[in-house]
Protein backbone atom coordinates (compact mmCIF):
# COMPACT_ATOMS: atom_id res chain seq x y z
CA UNK A 1 0.00 0.00 0.00
CA UNK A 2 2.84 2.41 0.86
CA UNK A 3 4.61 1.64 -2.43
CA UNK A 4 1.42 2.28 -4.35
CA UNK A 5 0.98 5.65 -2.63
CA UNK A 6 4.51 6.67 -3.59
CA UNK A 7 3.85 5.64 -7.19
CA UNK A 8 0.67 7.70 -7.25
CA UNK A 9 2.45 10.75 -5.82
CA UNK A 10 5.23 10.53 -8.39
CA UNK A 11 2.63 10.03 -11.12
CA UNK A 12 0.84 13.23 -10.12
CA UNK A 13 4.11 15.13 -10.24
CA UNK A 14 4.78 13.90 -13.77
CA UNK A 15 1.24 14.80 -14.83
CA UNK A 16 1.68 18.36 -13.55
CA UNK A 17 4.88 18.74 -15.57
CA UNK A 18 3.09 17.55 -18.70
CA UNK A 19 0.24 19.99 -18.14
CA UNK A 20 2.62 22.92 -17.82
CA UNK A 21 4.11 22.05 -21.20
CA UNK A 22 0.85 21.69 -23.08
CA UNK A 23 -2.26 23.71 -23.87
CA UNK A 24 -4.47 21.19 -25.62
CA UNK A 25 -8.12 21.92 -26.35
CA UNK A 26 -9.35 18.35 -26.60
CA UNK A 27 -9.37 15.75 -23.85
CA UNK A 28 -8.82 12.87 -26.23
CA UNK A 29 -5.88 14.68 -27.77
CA UNK A 30 -4.54 15.32 -24.28
CA UNK A 31 -4.40 11.59 -23.71
CA UNK A 32 -1.65 11.45 -26.33
CA UNK A 33 0.53 13.29 -23.82
CA UNK A 34 -0.77 11.30 -20.89
CA UNK A 35 0.26 8.00 -22.48
CA UNK A 36 3.49 9.32 -23.97
CA UNK A 37 7.06 8.52 -23.02
CA UNK A 38 6.80 11.02 -20.15
CA UNK A 39 5.00 8.23 -18.31
CA UNK A 40 6.75 5.24 -19.80
CA UNK A 41 9.12 5.00 -16.82
CA UNK A 42 6.12 4.24 -14.63
CA UNK A 43 4.57 1.48 -16.72
CA UNK A 44 4.35 -2.14 -15.75
CA UNK A 45 7.34 -4.19 -16.80
CA UNK A 46 4.97 -6.52 -18.63
CA UNK A 47 1.78 -5.07 -20.10
CA UNK A 48 -1.24 -7.14 -19.15
CA UNK A 49 -4.34 -6.43 -21.23
CA UNK A 50 -7.76 -6.39 -19.63
CA UNK A 51 -9.22 -9.86 -19.42
CA UNK A 52 -12.79 -8.64 -19.84
CA UNK A 53 -12.19 -7.18 -23.32
CA UNK A 54 -14.09 -4.09 -22.19
CA UNK A 55 -13.08 -2.10 -25.26
CA UNK A 56 -13.36 -4.60 -28.10
CA UNK A 57 -12.61 -3.89 -31.73
CA UNK A 58 -15.56 -3.38 -34.07
CA UNK A 59 -16.09 -5.51 -37.15
CA UNK A 60 -15.18 -3.39 -40.18
CA UNK A 61 -18.22 -2.48 -42.25
CA UNK A 62 -17.27 -2.64 -45.92
CA UNK A 63 -19.38 -0.52 -48.28
CA UNK A 64 -21.23 -2.38 -51.01
CA UNK A 65 -20.71 0.54 -53.42
CA UNK A 66 -17.20 1.93 -53.55
CA UNK A 67 -15.61 3.49 -56.57
CA UNK A 68 -13.39 6.18 -55.13
CA UNK A 69 -12.14 5.61 -51.57
CA UNK A 70 -8.64 4.75 -52.72
CA UNK A 71 -8.69 7.78 -55.01
CA UNK A 72 -9.72 10.11 -52.20
CA UNK A 73 -7.16 8.74 -49.77
CA UNK A 74 -4.16 8.01 -51.96
CA UNK A 75 -4.36 9.61 -55.42
CA UNK A 76 -1.91 12.54 -55.81
CA UNK A 77 -3.99 14.28 -58.49
CA UNK A 78 -7.11 14.21 -56.31
CA UNK A 79 -5.06 15.51 -53.39
CA UNK A 80 -3.71 18.42 -55.42
CA UNK A 81 -7.24 19.45 -56.42
CA UNK A 82 -8.47 19.02 -52.85
CA UNK A 83 -5.71 21.30 -51.56
CA UNK A 84 -6.90 24.04 -53.91
CA UNK A 85 -10.55 23.58 -52.95
CA UNK A 86 -9.81 23.90 -49.24
CA UNK A 87 -7.22 26.64 -49.67
CA UNK A 88 -9.53 28.84 -51.74
CA UNK A 89 -12.33 28.52 -49.19
CA UNK A 90 -10.02 29.72 -46.40
CA UNK A 91 -9.32 32.88 -48.41
CA UNK A 92 -12.92 34.00 -47.91
CA UNK A 93 -13.08 35.77 -44.49
CA UNK A 94 -16.44 34.60 -43.15
CA UNK A 95 -15.80 36.11 -39.73
CA UNK A 96 -18.38 36.51 -36.96
CA UNK A 97 -18.19 38.28 -33.62
CA UNK A 98 -19.74 37.44 -30.25
CA UNK A 99 -22.82 39.45 -31.20
CA UNK A 100 -24.03 39.55 -34.79
CA UNK A 101 -27.02 41.19 -36.48
CA UNK A 102 -30.15 39.49 -37.73
CA UNK A 103 -29.51 38.98 -41.46
CA UNK A 104 -32.93 40.45 -42.22
CA UNK A 105 -31.85 43.71 -40.62
CA UNK A 106 -28.23 43.96 -41.81
CA UNK A 107 -27.61 41.66 -44.73
CA UNK A 108 -24.44 43.50 -45.76
CA UNK A 109 -22.74 42.27 -42.58
CA UNK A 110 -22.73 38.81 -44.21
CA UNK A 111 -21.37 39.82 -47.61
CA UNK A 112 -18.40 37.46 -47.38
CA UNK A 113 -20.72 34.54 -46.74
CA UNK A 114 -22.35 35.16 -50.10
CA UNK A 115 -18.90 35.09 -51.66
CA UNK A 116 -18.50 31.65 -50.07
CA UNK A 117 -21.88 30.56 -51.47
CA UNK A 118 -20.82 31.59 -54.97
CA UNK A 119 -17.52 29.77 -54.51
CA UNK A 120 -19.29 26.56 -53.46
CA UNK A 121 -21.62 26.72 -56.44
CA UNK A 122 -18.73 27.20 -58.86
CA UNK A 123 -16.47 24.57 -57.27
CA UNK A 124 -19.06 21.80 -56.79
CA UNK A 125 -21.31 21.91 -59.86
CA UNK A 126 -22.75 18.38 -59.47
CA UNK A 127 -23.84 19.11 -55.91
CA UNK A 128 -25.69 22.19 -57.06
CA UNK A 129 -27.22 20.37 -60.02
CA UNK A 130 -28.54 17.33 -58.12
CA UNK A 131 -29.18 18.59 -54.57
CA UNK A 132 -31.88 21.03 -53.57
CA UNK A 133 -30.53 24.16 -51.88
CA UNK A 134 -32.58 26.25 -49.45
CA UNK A 135 -31.28 29.38 -47.80
CA UNK A 136 -32.65 29.55 -44.28
CA UNK A 137 -32.70 32.95 -42.57
CA UNK A 138 -30.92 34.35 -45.62
CA UNK A 139 -27.46 32.89 -44.95
CA UNK A 140 -27.94 29.35 -43.60
CA UNK A 141 -27.49 26.58 -46.17
CA UNK A 142 -29.63 23.43 -46.27
CA UNK A 143 -28.86 20.96 -49.02
CA UNK A 144 -31.23 18.02 -49.60
CA UNK A 145 -30.13 14.94 -51.55
CA UNK A 146 -33.44 13.20 -52.11
CA UNK A 147 -33.46 9.46 -51.60
CA UNK A 148 -35.70 6.99 -53.41
CA UNK A 149 -37.29 5.60 -50.21
CA UNK A 150 -39.32 8.21 -48.34
CA UNK A 151 -39.96 5.78 -45.46
CA UNK A 152 -36.32 6.02 -44.34
CA UNK A 153 -35.32 8.77 -41.95
CA UNK A 154 -32.78 11.16 -43.49
CA UNK A 155 -29.13 11.24 -42.51
CA UNK A 156 -27.90 14.71 -41.50
CA UNK A 157 -24.41 16.20 -41.68
CA UNK A 158 -23.55 19.54 -40.10
CA UNK A 159 -20.76 22.09 -40.40
CA UNK A 160 -20.53 25.85 -40.01
CA UNK A 161 -19.48 28.50 -42.49
CA UNK A 162 -18.20 31.04 -39.97
CA UNK A 163 -14.78 31.49 -38.42
CA UNK A 164 -13.52 33.41 -35.39
CA UNK A 165 -11.78 36.77 -35.84
CA UNK A 166 -8.03 37.26 -36.03
CA UNK A 167 -6.41 39.61 -33.54
CA UNK A 168 -4.67 42.17 -35.75
CA UNK A 169 -2.02 42.68 -33.10
CA UNK A 170 -0.84 39.09 -33.67
CA UNK A 171 -0.59 39.22 -37.46
CA UNK A 172 3.21 39.37 -37.39
CA UNK A 173 3.23 36.09 -35.43
CA UNK A 174 1.49 34.09 -38.18
CA UNK A 175 3.76 31.94 -40.33
CA UNK A 176 1.47 32.70 -43.27
CA UNK A 177 -1.23 35.41 -43.39
CA UNK A 178 -4.48 34.07 -41.91
CA UNK A 179 -6.65 34.53 -45.00
CA UNK A 180 -4.28 33.42 -47.75
CA UNK A 181 -4.99 29.69 -47.44
CA UNK A 182 -1.31 28.93 -47.99
CA UNK A 183 -0.35 25.32 -48.74
CA UNK A 184 2.93 24.30 -47.14
CA UNK A 185 4.17 21.35 -49.20
CA UNK A 186 7.09 20.66 -46.86
CA UNK A 187 4.78 19.90 -43.94
CA UNK A 188 1.65 19.04 -45.95
CA UNK A 189 -0.43 21.72 -44.21
CA UNK A 190 -3.05 24.22 -45.35
CA UNK A 191 -2.74 27.32 -43.17
CA UNK A 192 -5.28 29.97 -42.23
CA UNK A 193 -8.19 30.95 -40.05
CA UNK A 194 -10.92 28.36 -40.34
CA UNK A 195 -8.70 25.75 -41.98
CA UNK A 196 -9.25 23.51 -38.93
CA UNK A 197 -12.50 25.00 -37.56
CA UNK A 198 -14.26 24.20 -39.68
CA UNK A 199 -13.84 25.03 -43.37
CA UNK A 200 -12.09 21.66 -43.58
CA UNK A 201 -15.26 19.80 -42.55
CA UNK A 202 -17.50 22.01 -44.68
CA UNK A 203 -15.43 21.46 -47.81
CA UNK A 204 -14.96 17.74 -47.03
CA UNK A 205 -18.72 17.26 -47.12
CA UNK A 206 -18.99 18.91 -50.52
CA UNK A 207 -16.03 16.95 -51.85
CA UNK A 208 -17.49 13.62 -50.70
CA UNK A 209 -20.89 14.28 -52.27
CA UNK A 210 -19.37 15.61 -55.48
CA UNK A 211 -17.38 12.37 -55.78
CA UNK A 212 -20.38 10.16 -55.01
CA UNK A 213 -22.37 11.95 -57.71
CA UNK A 214 -19.48 11.59 -60.14
CA UNK A 215 -19.44 7.85 -59.32
CA UNK A 216 -23.14 7.59 -60.14
CA UNK A 217 -24.37 6.84 -56.61
CA UNK A 218 -28.10 7.36 -56.00
CA UNK A 219 -29.19 7.15 -52.37
CA UNK A 220 -32.22 5.32 -51.06
CA UNK A 221 -32.08 7.39 -47.88
CA UNK A 222 -32.30 11.17 -48.12
CA UNK A 223 -29.12 12.94 -47.00
CA UNK A 224 -29.19 16.47 -45.58
CA UNK A 225 -26.36 18.98 -45.16
CA UNK A 226 -27.06 21.82 -42.73
CA UNK A 227 -24.53 24.67 -42.58
CA UNK A 228 -24.98 27.41 -40.01
CA UNK A 229 -23.20 30.73 -40.11
CA UNK A 230 -22.74 31.85 -36.50
CA UNK A 231 -21.74 28.71 -34.61
CA UNK A 232 -18.88 30.59 -33.00
CA UNK A 233 -21.47 32.93 -31.47
CA UNK A 234 -23.93 30.23 -30.37
CA UNK A 235 -25.95 29.64 -33.54
CA UNK A 236 -28.63 32.21 -32.72
CA UNK A 237 -29.30 33.17 -36.34
CA UNK A 238 -28.03 30.08 -38.12
CA UNK A 239 -28.42 26.65 -36.51
CA UNK A 240 -31.48 27.70 -34.50
CA UNK A 241 -33.44 28.55 -37.64
CA UNK A 242 -32.07 25.61 -39.62
CA UNK A 243 -33.11 23.15 -36.91
CA UNK A 244 -36.64 24.58 -36.76
CA UNK A 245 -36.90 24.40 -40.54
CA UNK A 246 -35.78 20.75 -40.60
CA UNK A 247 -38.10 19.81 -37.73
CA UNK A 248 -41.06 21.39 -39.50
CA UNK A 249 -40.44 19.15 -42.51
CA UNK A 250 -39.38 15.86 -40.87
CA UNK A 251 -40.82 16.13 -37.36
CA UNK A 252 -39.35 15.40 -33.95
CA UNK A 253 -37.00 12.42 -33.99
CA UNK A 254 -37.31 12.56 -37.75
CA UNK A 255 -33.58 12.14 -38.49
CA UNK A 256 -31.67 8.83 -38.52
CA UNK A 257 -28.40 10.27 -37.19
CA UNK A 258 -26.56 13.60 -37.03
CA UNK A 259 -22.81 14.06 -37.53
CA UNK A 260 -21.18 17.37 -36.62
CA UNK A 261 -17.66 18.61 -35.89
CA UNK A 262 -15.92 16.97 -32.95
CA UNK A 263 -13.20 14.51 -32.05
CA UNK A 264 -11.21 12.27 -34.39
CA UNK A 265 -8.65 9.54 -33.83
CA UNK A 266 -5.54 9.62 -31.66
CA UNK A 267 -2.63 7.22 -31.56
CA UNK A 268 -2.31 5.90 -28.00
CA UNK A 269 0.36 3.35 -28.78
CA UNK A 270 2.39 2.24 -31.78
CA UNK A 271 -0.14 1.51 -34.55
CA UNK A 272 -2.98 1.58 -32.01
CA UNK A 273 -5.68 4.23 -32.28
CA UNK A 274 -8.76 5.33 -30.40
CA UNK A 275 -11.66 7.02 -32.17
CA UNK A 276 -13.93 8.83 -29.72
CA UNK A 277 -17.11 10.32 -31.22
CA UNK A 278 -18.55 12.79 -28.74
CA UNK A 279 -21.97 11.50 -27.66
CA UNK A 280 -22.78 14.07 -24.94
CA UNK A 281 -22.13 17.69 -24.06
CA UNK A 282 -22.07 19.63 -20.82
CA UNK A 283 -24.66 22.33 -20.27
CA UNK A 284 -24.02 25.98 -19.55
CA UNK A 285 -25.59 28.98 -17.90
CA UNK A 286 -24.63 32.66 -17.84
CA UNK A 287 -25.55 34.21 -14.51
CA UNK A 288 -25.59 37.99 -14.12
CA UNK A 289 -25.04 39.20 -10.55
CA UNK A 290 -25.81 42.86 -9.88
CA UNK A 291 -25.03 44.63 -6.60
CA UNK A 292 -27.40 47.58 -6.22
CA UNK A 293 -26.42 50.19 -3.63
CA UNK A 294 -26.41 53.93 -3.03
CA UNK A 295 -24.34 56.56 -4.73
CA UNK A 296 -22.70 59.59 -3.23
CA UNK A 297 -19.36 61.31 -2.88
CA UNK A 298 -16.37 58.98 -2.50
CA UNK A 299 -14.99 61.15 0.31
CA UNK A 300 -17.66 59.71 2.63
CA UNK A 301 -17.78 56.05 1.57
CA UNK A 302 -19.66 53.21 3.26
CA UNK A 303 -17.69 50.32 4.71
CA UNK A 304 -18.01 48.53 1.40
CA UNK A 305 -18.90 49.96 -2.00
CA UNK A 306 -20.88 47.86 -4.46
CA UNK A 307 -17.55 47.02 -6.09
CA UNK A 308 -16.20 45.77 -2.77
CA UNK A 309 -19.30 43.62 -2.20
CA UNK A 310 -19.02 42.28 -5.74
CA UNK A 311 -15.36 41.45 -5.11
CA UNK A 312 -16.30 39.39 -2.06
CA UNK A 313 -18.98 37.58 -4.07
CA UNK A 314 -16.54 36.78 -6.87
CA UNK A 315 -14.00 35.49 -4.37
CA UNK A 316 -16.57 33.15 -2.80
CA UNK A 317 -17.97 31.90 -6.10
CA UNK A 318 -14.47 31.05 -7.32
CA UNK A 319 -13.49 29.45 -4.03
CA UNK A 320 -16.56 27.26 -3.50
CA UNK A 321 -16.42 25.38 -6.78
CA UNK A 322 -18.56 22.36 -7.55
CA UNK A 323 -17.21 18.99 -6.43
CA UNK A 324 -15.54 16.57 -8.83
CA UNK A 325 -17.64 13.54 -9.65
CA UNK A 326 -16.49 10.83 -12.03
CA UNK A 327 -19.23 8.41 -13.08
CA UNK A 328 -19.09 5.32 -15.23
CA UNK A 329 -21.67 6.75 -17.63
CA UNK A 330 -19.52 9.80 -18.30
CA UNK A 331 -18.27 9.39 -21.91
CA UNK A 332 -14.79 10.26 -20.67
CA UNK A 333 -14.71 6.90 -18.94
CA UNK A 334 -15.10 5.19 -22.31
CA UNK A 335 -11.93 6.90 -23.54
CA UNK A 336 -9.99 6.13 -20.36
CA UNK A 337 -11.17 2.53 -20.25
CA UNK A 338 -10.23 1.92 -23.87
CA UNK A 339 -6.78 3.43 -23.34
CA UNK A 340 -6.29 1.38 -20.17
CA UNK A 341 -6.92 -1.78 -22.12
CA UNK A 342 -4.87 -1.06 -25.22
CA UNK A 343 -2.06 1.33 -24.30
CA UNK A 344 1.21 -0.13 -23.08
CA UNK A 345 2.48 3.31 -22.03
CA UNK A 346 -0.13 4.36 -19.50
CA UNK A 347 0.97 4.95 -15.93
CA UNK A 348 0.41 1.65 -14.15
CA UNK A 349 -1.38 3.10 -11.10
CA UNK A 350 -3.69 5.10 -13.33
CA UNK A 351 -4.45 2.04 -15.48
CA UNK A 352 -5.20 -0.20 -12.48
CA UNK A 353 -7.49 2.44 -11.01
CA UNK A 354 -9.45 2.79 -14.26
CA UNK A 355 -9.87 -0.96 -14.50
CA UNK A 356 -10.99 -1.32 -10.90
CA UNK A 357 -13.45 1.58 -10.99
CA UNK A 358 -16.15 -0.57 -12.58
CA UNK A 359 -16.44 -2.80 -9.54
CA UNK A 360 -15.08 -0.83 -6.61
CA UNK A 361 -16.48 2.43 -5.24
CA UNK A 362 -13.15 3.28 -3.63
CA UNK A 363 -11.38 2.88 -6.99
CA UNK A 364 -13.98 5.16 -8.60
CA UNK A 365 -13.35 7.72 -5.85
CA UNK A 366 -9.62 7.36 -6.40
CA UNK A 367 -10.06 7.80 -10.17
CA UNK A 368 -12.03 10.98 -9.49
CA UNK A 369 -9.18 12.23 -7.33
CA UNK A 370 -6.58 11.44 -9.98
CA UNK A 371 -8.55 13.13 -12.76
CA UNK A 372 -9.07 16.18 -10.54
CA UNK A 373 -5.27 16.60 -10.51
CA UNK A 374 -5.15 16.89 -14.31
CA UNK A 375 -6.24 20.42 -15.37
CA UNK A 376 -7.08 19.46 -18.95
CA UNK A 377 -9.37 16.64 -17.81
CA UNK A 378 -10.79 17.72 -14.46
CA UNK A 379 -13.37 20.10 -15.90
CA UNK A 380 -15.13 17.19 -17.59
CA UNK A 381 -16.22 15.80 -14.23
CA UNK A 382 -17.61 18.91 -12.54
CA UNK A 383 -19.53 22.12 -13.10
CA UNK A 384 -17.08 24.94 -13.77
CA UNK A 385 -17.21 28.59 -12.75
CA UNK A 386 -15.64 31.46 -14.68
CA UNK A 387 -16.21 35.16 -13.98
CA UNK A 388 -15.83 36.66 -17.44
CA UNK A 389 -17.26 40.21 -17.44
CA UNK A 390 -17.40 42.93 -14.75
CA UNK A 391 -18.80 46.46 -14.84
CA UNK A 392 -18.98 49.09 -12.10
CA UNK A 393 -18.31 52.73 -11.41
CA UNK A 394 -18.23 55.80 -13.65
CA UNK A 395 -15.96 58.34 -11.89
CA UNK A 396 -13.11 58.39 -9.37
CA UNK A 397 -14.94 60.57 -6.83
CA UNK A 398 -18.42 59.06 -7.26
CA UNK A 399 -19.54 55.94 -5.39
CA UNK A 400 -20.64 53.16 -7.75
CA UNK A 401 -24.40 52.79 -7.48
CA UNK A 402 -24.36 49.42 -9.23
CA UNK A 403 -21.72 46.82 -9.98
CA UNK A 404 -22.43 43.75 -12.05
CA UNK A 405 -20.47 40.72 -13.18
CA UNK A 406 -21.24 37.77 -15.42
CA UNK A 407 -20.48 34.22 -14.36
CA UNK A 408 -20.29 31.46 -16.97
CA UNK A 409 -20.89 27.93 -15.71
CA UNK A 410 -20.34 24.79 -17.77
CA UNK A 411 -22.74 22.33 -16.19
CA UNK A 412 -21.80 18.77 -15.28
CA UNK A 413 -23.67 15.96 -17.04
CA UNK A 414 -25.49 15.03 -13.83
CA UNK A 415 -26.46 18.57 -12.82
CA UNK A 416 -28.96 21.16 -14.06
CA UNK A 417 -29.27 24.89 -14.61
CA UNK A 418 -31.38 25.27 -11.47
CA UNK A 419 -28.96 23.28 -9.30
CA UNK A 420 -26.15 25.52 -10.50
CA UNK A 421 -28.04 28.75 -9.88
CA UNK A 422 -29.06 27.60 -6.40
CA UNK A 423 -25.40 27.01 -5.50
CA UNK A 424 -24.66 30.60 -6.54
CA UNK A 425 -27.58 31.87 -4.49
CA UNK A 426 -26.25 30.13 -1.37
CA UNK A 427 -22.96 32.01 -1.65
CA UNK A 428 -24.73 35.28 -2.42
CA UNK A 429 -26.88 34.91 0.69
CA UNK A 430 -23.75 34.56 2.83
CA UNK A 431 -22.40 37.89 1.57
CA UNK A 432 -25.78 39.62 1.65
CA UNK A 433 -26.36 38.72 5.31
CA UNK A 434 -22.83 39.71 6.29
CA UNK A 435 -22.97 43.13 4.62
CA UNK A 436 -26.64 43.91 5.17
CA UNK A 437 -28.02 43.58 1.64
CA UNK A 438 -31.21 42.00 0.34
CA UNK A 439 -31.33 39.38 -2.44
CA UNK A 440 -33.68 39.11 -5.41
CA UNK A 441 -33.92 36.89 -8.44
CA UNK A 442 -34.66 38.37 -11.84
CA UNK A 443 -35.52 41.58 -9.93
CA UNK A 444 -38.87 39.98 -9.07
CA UNK A 445 -38.64 37.13 -6.59
CA UNK A 446 -37.54 38.38 -3.16
CA UNK A 447 -35.22 35.85 -1.53
CA UNK A 448 -34.00 38.16 1.24
CA UNK A 449 -35.75 41.47 1.95
CA UNK A 450 -34.07 44.59 0.53
CA UNK A 451 -32.39 46.89 3.07
CA UNK A 452 -31.48 50.55 3.21
CA UNK A 453 -28.02 49.63 1.88
CA UNK A 454 -29.40 47.91 -1.21
CA UNK A 455 -29.82 44.46 -2.65
CA UNK A 456 -28.10 41.86 -4.83
CA UNK A 457 -29.90 40.50 -7.86
CA UNK A 458 -29.15 37.25 -9.64
CA UNK A 459 -30.49 36.74 -13.17
CA UNK A 460 -30.07 34.06 -15.85
CA UNK A 461 -28.94 35.54 -19.14
CA UNK A 462 -28.56 32.35 -21.17
CA UNK A 463 -28.85 28.69 -20.29
CA UNK A 464 -28.68 25.19 -21.74
CA UNK A 465 -29.19 21.93 -19.90
CA UNK A 466 -26.61 19.14 -20.47
CA UNK A 467 -27.22 17.40 -23.78
CA UNK A 468 -29.04 14.08 -23.93
CA UNK A 469 -26.55 11.24 -24.22
CA UNK A 470 -26.60 9.47 -27.55
CA UNK A 471 -26.33 5.66 -27.54
CA UNK A 472 -22.90 4.02 -27.50
CA UNK A 473 -24.32 0.64 -28.49
CA UNK A 474 -26.96 -0.60 -30.86
CA UNK A 475 -27.40 -0.54 -34.62
CA UNK A 476 -26.67 3.15 -35.27
CA UNK A 477 -23.54 3.17 -33.11
CA UNK A 478 -22.28 -0.11 -34.58
CA UNK A 479 -22.71 1.27 -38.08
CA UNK A 480 -20.72 4.38 -37.23
CA UNK A 481 -18.01 2.36 -35.46
CA UNK A 482 -17.82 -0.20 -38.26
CA UNK A 483 -17.35 2.55 -40.83
CA UNK A 484 -14.55 4.19 -38.85
CA UNK A 485 -12.82 0.83 -38.34
CA UNK A 486 -12.97 -0.11 -42.01
CA UNK A 487 -11.88 3.31 -43.26
CA UNK A 488 -8.79 3.53 -41.07
CA UNK A 489 -7.83 -0.05 -40.34
CA UNK A 490 -8.28 -1.33 -43.90
CA UNK A 491 -7.77 1.75 -46.07
CA UNK A 492 -5.92 4.67 -44.45
CA UNK A 493 -3.48 2.25 -42.78
CA UNK A 494 -3.55 -0.38 -45.49
CA UNK A 495 0.26 -0.44 -45.69
CA UNK A 496 0.66 -1.17 -41.98
CA UNK A 497 -0.88 -3.43 -39.37
CA UNK A 498 -2.93 -1.11 -37.18
CA UNK A 499 -5.75 -1.47 -34.70
CA UNK A 500 -8.63 0.96 -34.28
CA UNK A 501 -10.98 1.01 -31.29
CA UNK A 502 -14.11 3.14 -31.20
CA UNK A 503 -15.40 4.44 -27.88
CA UNK A 504 -17.15 7.45 -26.37
CA UNK A 505 -15.67 10.86 -25.69
CA UNK A 506 -16.50 14.22 -24.14
CA UNK A 507 -15.29 17.78 -24.39
CA UNK A 508 -16.30 20.81 -22.39
CA UNK A 509 -17.67 23.03 -25.17
CA UNK A 510 -20.84 22.91 -27.25
CA UNK A 511 -21.44 22.70 -30.99
CA UNK A 512 -24.44 23.75 -33.08
CA UNK A 513 -25.98 20.36 -32.27
CA UNK A 514 -27.50 21.97 -29.17
CA UNK A 515 -30.24 23.27 -31.45
CA UNK A 516 -30.88 19.83 -33.00
CA UNK A 517 -31.65 17.68 -29.95
CA UNK A 518 -35.28 17.16 -30.93
CA UNK A 519 -34.37 15.81 -34.36
CA UNK A 520 -32.54 12.60 -33.42
CA UNK A 521 -31.39 10.45 -30.52
CA UNK A 522 -28.20 9.67 -32.44
CA UNK A 523 -26.04 12.80 -32.40
CA UNK A 524 -22.28 12.32 -32.74
CA UNK A 525 -19.60 14.97 -32.95
CA UNK A 526 -16.81 13.42 -34.99
CA UNK A 527 -14.43 14.18 -37.81
CA UNK A 528 -12.69 11.37 -39.67
CA UNK A 529 -9.15 12.58 -39.09
CA UNK A 530 -6.20 11.60 -36.95
CA UNK A 531 -5.79 14.42 -34.45
CA UNK A 532 -2.37 16.01 -34.11
CA UNK A 533 -2.02 17.67 -30.68
CA UNK A 534 0.04 20.49 -32.15
CA UNK A 535 -2.71 21.30 -34.64
CA UNK A 536 -5.33 21.31 -31.87
CA UNK A 537 -3.35 24.00 -30.05
CA UNK A 538 -3.86 26.43 -32.95
CA UNK A 539 -7.67 26.33 -33.01
CA UNK A 540 -9.00 29.86 -32.51
CA UNK A 541 -5.38 30.95 -32.19
CA UNK A 542 -2.29 32.02 -34.09
CA UNK A 543 -1.17 29.82 -36.98
CA UNK A 544 -4.32 27.73 -37.33
CA UNK A 545 -3.67 24.99 -39.87
CA UNK A 546 -4.79 21.53 -40.91
CA UNK A 547 -2.92 18.53 -42.29
CA UNK A 548 -3.94 17.30 -45.72
CA UNK A 549 -3.88 13.57 -44.86
CA UNK A 550 -6.42 14.34 -42.14
CA UNK A 551 -8.54 16.34 -44.55
CA UNK A 552 -8.53 13.53 -47.12
CA UNK A 553 -9.53 10.91 -44.55
CA UNK A 554 -12.37 13.22 -43.42
CA UNK A 555 -13.64 13.22 -47.00
CA UNK A 556 -13.28 9.45 -47.09
CA UNK A 557 -15.26 9.04 -43.86
CA UNK A 558 -18.21 11.08 -45.18
CA UNK A 559 -18.11 9.22 -48.49
CA UNK A 560 -18.09 5.80 -46.81
CA UNK A 561 -20.54 6.63 -44.03
CA UNK A 562 -23.16 7.78 -46.54
CA UNK A 563 -22.71 4.50 -48.43
CA UNK A 564 -22.87 2.33 -45.32
CA UNK A 565 -25.89 4.06 -43.80
CA UNK A 566 -27.67 3.78 -47.13
CA UNK A 567 -26.89 0.05 -47.46
CA UNK A 568 -26.87 -1.24 -43.87
CA UNK A 569 -29.05 1.26 -41.98
CA UNK A 570 -32.55 0.25 -40.96
- Give the residue numbers marked as catalytic: 162, 231
Around Cβ 102, how many Cβ atoms within 10 Å? 12
CA distances from 493 to 275, 484, 533 (A): 14, 12, 20
CA distance 375 to 24: 10
3-state secondary structure (DSSP) of residue 147: coil
Strands 140-145 and 223-228: antiparallel
Measured CA to CA, the distance from residue 159 to residue 228 in angstroms comes to 7
DSSP labels, 212-264: HHHTT---SS-EEEEEES-GGGTSTTTHHHHHHHHHHHH-TT--SEEEEEEEE
Distance, in Å, from the CA atom of 101 to the CA atom of 114, rounded to the nearest integer, reads 16
Q: How many CB atoms are located within 10 Å of the residue 23 CB? A: 13
Phi, psi of 105 (to 5 degrees): -105, -25
- Cα distances (angstroms) measured from residue 185 to each of 2, 153, 188, 349, 467: 54, 42, 5, 43, 41
Question: What's the gap between Cα 322 and its chain centre?
Answer: 22
Between CA 253 and CA 179 the distance in angstroms is: 39
Amino acid sequence: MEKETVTRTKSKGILRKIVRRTMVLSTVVYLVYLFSSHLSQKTDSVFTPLTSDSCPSTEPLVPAFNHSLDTILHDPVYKRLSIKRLSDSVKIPTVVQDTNPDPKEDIDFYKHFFELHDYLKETFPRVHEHLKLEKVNEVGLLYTWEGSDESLKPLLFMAHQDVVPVNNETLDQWTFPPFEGQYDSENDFVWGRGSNDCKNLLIAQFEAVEKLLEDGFKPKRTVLFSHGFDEEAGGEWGAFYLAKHIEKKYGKDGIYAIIDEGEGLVEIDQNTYIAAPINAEKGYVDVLVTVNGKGGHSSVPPDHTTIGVAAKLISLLEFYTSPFQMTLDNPLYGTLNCAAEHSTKMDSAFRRTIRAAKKCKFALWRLTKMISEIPMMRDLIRTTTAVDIINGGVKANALPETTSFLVNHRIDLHSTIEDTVQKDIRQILKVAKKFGYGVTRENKEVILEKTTLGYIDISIRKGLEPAPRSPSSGAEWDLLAGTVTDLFQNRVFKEQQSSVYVTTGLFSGNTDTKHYWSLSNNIYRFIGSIIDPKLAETLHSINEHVDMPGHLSAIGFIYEYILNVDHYGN
